[in-house]
Structure 1
């Protein structure tokens, strides 16, 4: 299943990596330095913006890919994904 519920895993992982929310918008915007991540709509589409560019992630892009892109955009490429996101075998129940 993809969509906004899966994007909550992205929020959890980014918060674990130190990203913070300004708490102003209904769909949370998380920031780390100049990088910003937001869930764009209830379908789970999201966006990552930094340094004058933005990348749209359709809801079917895996959580792992979105988190890795966010960490790289914030200069946190040294963070181990397993430290900020629970990795589980494909098809495993949540």
Structure 2
């Protein structure tokens, strides 16, 4: 079980490094997605030409890496850090395919 958790944490960190943080809540330019966040939640979606699918990723204040569901790019993928110390500021990111 610990190996699986460690592998997920490493994979999540790699995804965050590749995706880069996004913080604009304005209309997404071509190839980007809209993002939204509050103290516990990060969401990404409604993408413009960024791919068919989107997945949100973030780090919580307790160090947990949370990975949202992969959803159609016209929808929104969310991650939740409630019960994990809240969302670490600036840690929200997304990737598309």
* Alignment TM-score, normalising by the size of structure 1: 0.29
Higher strand fraction: Structure 1 or Structure 2? 2
Greater helix fraction, Structure 1 or Structure 2: 1
Q: TM-score, normalised by structure 2?
A: 0.29
